[in-house]
Structure 1
Amino acid sequence: MDRQEAIEVLLDHFENPRHRHKLEEPDVTMPGGNPGCGDVVMVYLRAGEDGKPVAELSWEGEGCTISQAAASILMELVHDEDWTMQDILDTDYSDMMDLLGREVVQTRTRCATLALGTLKAAVRRYQSEQRLAQAGGMSDDVVDEHDSTLEEYGLVVGDAALKPRDPTG
């Protein structure tokens, strides 16, 4: 896809977002944010059976064209290609940049990867909760697993993504 086609796809997904709604009774609700510019994405995940495609996935958010279009593009891809949770975890941030058009989004890496980082965090939270439940107990205080790639890209997931941005840095 050339630069102009990538821009047209991004604009189409921004103006006509796919799978953008609050999912009723999700297994996981995961907020994600880009503190650098204030982009926010909320991912709703209903898991499928082990090894099976994700049962249902949706999102809500606000922010720049790239962050919101990327969320729409990613959700459409997961739905259309019947991704499993492992497929989501195996997707590299670099792949997301290529999918969106690296030439177009290369200076906006955090915006371009926010949805993927948030979706990965939702999958990890679901998996952590399942492991805790199988171990015989469920904690209301499930600790989010650290993801060094999220940190590298400057993204924030979980409750921290909902905190107001400090303009002084």
Structure 2
Amino acid sequence: MTVNDSQRHISQQVILEHAQKPRHRGTTNLIHLSSEKNNPSCGDSVQLTVQFNATGDTITDIKFQGKGCAVSIASADLMAELLIGKTIAEALLIIQDFFNLIQGNYQFNFPLQKLNVFSTLAQFPIRMKCALLSWSTLESALKSYNLR
């Protein structure tokens, strides 16, 4: 097994783990923000709910519901896991970095390096949309929320 094959295998394992047992599926206790999108080309759909702290500038919880492939579900679950505790500004920067990662132009460092499992998707353009669905949904929602 080459290093590339080994990395691909680890990425597949992380994606399968989060797809089969998502930790952030459901609805937040308080819903300060909700948004949904679907990918008509494959049928994936996601509904996000977000809860903020008392001042409304820090994400205290993100939950998702929907249907989709393993990449779509794992991406939503990891997004929720890693953006909880971030300010809206921090989350928007991480979202942009994730878009760059998917295009093969970025690598995350600690503590966000888990997201690098999606870096191989640049080789599979159809799968890129699957990984980006929840992230683009959250980005649109946060930008709208920030403008109010």
The residue number in structure 2 matching 1:143 is none
Q: What displacement does 1:104 show?
A: 4.6
Give the letter for the 1:37 counterpart.
C
| Rg comparison, structure with higher value | 1
Distance 1:16 1:43 in 2: 17
TM-score using structure 1 length = 0.67
Give the letter for the 2:144 counterpart.
R
Q: What displacement does 1:96 show?
A: 5.4
Distance 1:5 1:122 in 2: 32
Identity in percent: 27
Check the 8 A contact 1:26/1:45 in 2, yes or no: yes
Gaps of 5+ in 1: 131-169
Q: What displacement does 1:15 show?
A: 0.5
1:62 aligns with 2:67: yes
1:118 aligns with 2:137: yes
CA RMSD of aligned residues (A): 2.0
Number of equivalenced pairs: 126
Structure 1 segment 1-169 matched on structure 2, within 5 A: 2-48=7-53, 49=55, 51=57, 53-79=58-84, 82-91=85-94, 92=96, 93-95=99-101, 99=115, 100-104=117-121, 106-107=123-124, 108-128=127-147, 130=148
Structure with more helix by fraction = 2
Check the 8 A contact 2:101/2:119 in 1, yes or no: no
Seen in structure 2, the aligned counterparts of structure 1 residues 76 and 86 have a Cα distance that, compared at 3 Å, is same
Distance 1:111 1:60 in 2: 14
Gaps of 5+ in 2: 1-5, 108-114
TM-score using structure 2 length = 0.76
Higher mean displacement: 105-114 or 31-40: 105-114
The residue number in structure 1 matching 2:3 is none
SS of 1:36's partner is coil
